[in-house]
Amino acid sequence: MLKKIPYYWLCQILGWSAFILVYIFFYLSLRTRETPHFYEVLFIEALVGFFVTHVMRMFILRFKFVEKPINEQGFYIFFISFVFALIYAAIGASLEQYLQFEADRQKNIALINKILRASLGCFTFILIWNLIYFAYHYIIRTRQAQFDRVRLESLVKELELKTIKSHINPHFIFNALNSIRALIDENPNRARNAITELSNILRSSMQAEKVETVPFEKELSIVKDYLALEFIRFEDRLKVEYQVDEDTLDQPVPPMMLQTLVENAIKHGIGKQISGGIVKVISDFRNNYHELIVQNTGYLNGHINGDGFGLSSTKNRLQLLFGEKANFEIRQVDNGLVEARILIPVEIK
């Protein structure tokens, strides 16, 4: 039943009911003598207060005072409280005089003086009401603004991830087709095998498009297919090593990310070495992080190896999916060996 009552009306009813109960409690526990028409006057004041505060709320909403800058709201709170305290006191005093509920000592006091005296007490109640009302709306607006900001950030991240993905697959396909093209005249049989390898990779990558992360085991499978395809082109010039902790196989990683790093290692490392070189894939846990490393023969030459979209997107993807704790760096380990290193925070269960 209470859920069907709007929150505002529920607060009004409970608030003014509490006003009545508190006054009755103090009257019964602290009174030294009986006050004539105490209960009648109390209920009139509560009903008038209920009516006046509701009209005041309509006035506040009409002129949108709760939407004013926070540094201006203090003035409006005191101004509105003062005006409606006078209205509250005027209505209450007039009704008490009209219904003859006044005490004998107050009958000879002019109505205007009664209103001014009563307005001091009314101002306190109206001010408290306004402080609660404005504070409630300030909290609601702040929470809504935070919710809108989070929703906007989520939308931006989703759009960025979709943009990154739309670049990754064409980038990979372009390089893979170049590898196959190089084999067509030289060795048609191997070219057909390469097409089979490529179809396996594309099938896996299309499935990966549907999710933000995949188990590392699935990503590693794509990398192995890719390196098998590249081995057809490079033959003995390409050496591949894997150093993978089996416990890391179920860890989530962005799809096609490791493959992008391996592709970069082939294109900008092995492909530029006359005698070829080695590509080494390492996966292990280190200090609550899943550490992924791709090492390849090559040189940075003072800048990041390969300035294409693949590497520039890797760090963005990591931060969008895993936050600031995730990290990506590429560096020259020693003379002739480049290392791309990814750190993904591991959720401690």
Same domain, 88 and 224: no
**Per-residue pLDDT at 178:** 79
Same domain, 117 and 190: no
**Per-residue pLDDT at 231:** 84
| Assigned domain for 240 exists | yes
Q: For residue 231, which amino acid is it?
A: F
Q: What is the C-alpha to C-alpha distance for residues 83 and 76, in angstroms, rounded to an integer? A: 11
Quote the pTM value: 0.53
Q: Supply 329's token pair.
A: 């760096």
* 57-69 residues labelled b (16+ CB within 10 A) or e (exposed): beebeeeebbeee
Instruction: Give mean pLDDT, residues 93-100.
Output: 83
| Assigned domain for 169 exists | no
Same domain, 138 and 271: no
Same domain, 209 and 129: no
Same domain, 30 and 122: yes
Above 60 in pLDDT, residue 163? no
**Per-residue pLDDT at 53:** 95
| Assigned domain for 178 exists | no
Q: State the chain's mean pLDDT as an integer.
A: 82
Which residue from 209, 257, 199 is spatially nearest to 229, judged by alpha carbons? Answer: 199
Same domain, 23 and 138: yes
Above 60 in pLDDT, residue 265? yes
Q: Are 298 and 271 within 8 A, CB to CB?
A: no
Above 80 in pLDDT, residue 104? no
DSSP SS3 for 270: helix
Q: What is the C-alpha to C-alpha distance for residues 261 and 185, in angstroms, rounded to an integer? A: 29
| Assigned domain for 159 exists | no
Same domain, 123 and 269: no
Distance set, CA 87 to CA 9, 84, 94, 153 (Å): 21, 5, 11, 47
| Assigned domain for 171 exists | no
DSSP assignment of 8-49: HHHHHHHHHHHHHHHHHHHHHHH-SSPPTTHHHHHHHHHHHH
| Assigned domain for 97 exists | yes
Q: What is the Rg, in whole angstroms, of the alpha carbon atoms belonging to the chain?
A: 38
Same domain, 120 and 205: no
Which residues, at least 6 apart from 270, have a Cβ–Cβ distance to it below 8 Å? 234, 237, 238, 276, 277, 279, 296, 297, 298
Q: What is the CATH number of the domain that holds 225?
A: 3.30.565.10
pLDDT in tens, 10-65: 999 999 999 999 999 988 888 777 888 888 889 999 999 999 999 999 999 999 89
Which residue from 230, 62, 241, 70 is spatially nearest to 145, judged by alpha carbons? Answer: 70
* Residue that finishes a domain, picked among 129, 149, 169: 149
* DSSP designation for 75: H
**Per-residue pLDDT at 56:** 95
Q: Supply 289's token pair.
A: 């992080």
Which residue from 290, 285, 193, 294 is spatially nearest to 240, judged by alpha carbons? Answer: 294
Q: What is the C-alpha to C-alpha distance for residues 324 and 345, in angstroms, rounded to an integer? A: 10
Q: What is the C-alpha to C-alpha distance for residues 243 and 291, in angstroms, rounded to an integer? A: 12
Same domain, 201 and 281: yes
Q: For residue 106, which amino acid is it?
A: Q
Least confident of 139-143, 222-226, 260-264, 304-308: 304-308
Give me the torsion for CA of 326, 330, 335, 336, rounded to 10°: 120
**Per-residue pLDDT at 267:** 82
| Assigned domain for 287 exists | yes
| Assigned domain for 334 exists | yes
Above 90 in pLDDT, residue 308? no
**Per-residue pLDDT at 309:** 47
* Residue that finishes a domain, picked among 98, 132, 149: 149
Which residues, at least 6 apart from 253, have a Cβ–Cβ distance to it below 8 Å? 213, 214, 215, 216, 219, 290, 292, 344
Instruction: Give mean pLDDT, residues 234-257.
Output: 90
Q: Name residue 337's beta-bridge partners.
A: 297, 334
**DSSP H helical segments within 99-187, as ranges?**
111-184
Least confident of 81-90, 200-209, 258-267, 330-339: 200-209
Count of all residues that appear for the chain in the document: 349
Domain count, the chain: 2
How does residue 305 score in pLDDT terms, banded at 50, 70 and 90?
very low
Q: What is the C-alpha to C-alpha distance for residues 89 and 114, in angstroms, rounded to an integer? A: 8
How does residue 307 score in pLDDT terms, banded at 50, 70 and 90?
very low
Same domain, 203 and 338: yes
* Residue that finishes a domain, picked among 134, 149, 164: 149
Same domain, 140 and 197: no
Above 60 in pLDDT, residue 349? no
pLDDT in tens, 199-231: 877 776 666 556 778 899 988 988 898 888 888
Owner of token pair 């990503």: 219
Same domain, 189 and 320: yes
Containing structural domain, residue 273: 185-345
